[in-house]
Amino acid sequence: MSSVRVEIENVEWTSAVPFYGLGAVYHGQEIVQLKVLCDRRHEGGGITWIVKFIPPAGKLIKIIAVALSDEHVFILEGGRTTKSGRPSKTSGGYSLNPKGQPHSAMIASEMTALVVYVGEPDDVKSIAVVDIAASGK
């Protein structure tokens, strides 16, 4: 296999529904979008994408998933939040969810991340839009 090079600005944002499910759309708006940079799963490799989360005003996106392969997440802009919508002190710029690891994310403001899976992407158990005020209960 030869090297793969991608001009990121030339890759279109696409719907995340095939990977995140119908929860990636809220009231007809795409709240999760992807730029798939490389998909080598058919060759036994992984998939890499840039993901953009766009929560509606006053709400947060709550995701619960299980890693089907090692998942490397590099935050490019924004960051994760707490249930009350405040920036998470443990968010960091990089995280690793090893294969089999259940994990979650709460996102209350626009966030962009580079996500690298060494194999299959996460099994997204649920994705929901919830009121920030109600999410801390």
Asked if the model's pLDDT at residue 136 lies above 60, the reply is no
Reported pTM: 0.88
What token pair was written down for 128?
A: 């929901």
* 72-109: pLDDT as tens digits: 999 999 877 767 777 765 556 899 999 999 999 988 99
Instruction: Give the separation between CA 104 and CA 101, rounded to whole angstroms.
Output: 10
Domains and their CATH numbers in the chain: 12-135 (2.60.120.10)
Longest dimension (CA), the chain: 51
